[in-house]
Amino acid sequence: MFRDLFRDLWDNHRGKSIGLIMGIIFGIIYLFAGFWKTLLFVLIVLLCFFAGKNIDNKEPILHFDKVVGWIADRFNGFR
């Protein structure tokens, strides 16, 4: 039963699964240090999950043009 579930997750959602596993592994390192580190753990897991989701959808992990556009829009009012 669980073997079929894990095989289905691996076959259909490989990037998300890898991202989630990496996030949990790296996040556990920070988990034992306290509340703020736990929040960092959640952030790491979410970032890795969304990176895996982008890999599954065959998209770039980080949309550099959107990030640059967002930063430019934020600081445009300071000119």
More confident residue, 23 or 77: 23
For the chain, state the CA radius of gyration: 17
Q: What domain range includes position 24?
A: 2-78
CA 77/CA 30 separation, integer angstroms: 37
30-57 pLDDT tens trace: 777 766 776 777 788 888 888 888 888 8
E-strand stretches of 1-79: none
pLDDT band at 25 (very low <50, low <70, confident <90, very high): confident
Percentage of the chain exceeding pLDDT 90: 0
Is pTM beyond 0.75 here?
Answer: no
The answer, yes or no, to whether residue 3 has pLDDT greater than 80, is: yes
Beta-carbon neighbour count of residue 16 at 10 Å?
A: 20
pLDDT band at 79 (very low <50, low <70, confident <90, very high): low
Closest-CA residue to 59 (of 5, 8, 19): 19
More confident residue, 66 or 7: 7
Domain count across the chain = 1
Cα end-to-end span (Å), the chain: 60
Tally the residues of the chain.
79
Encoding tokens for residue 47? 């970032």
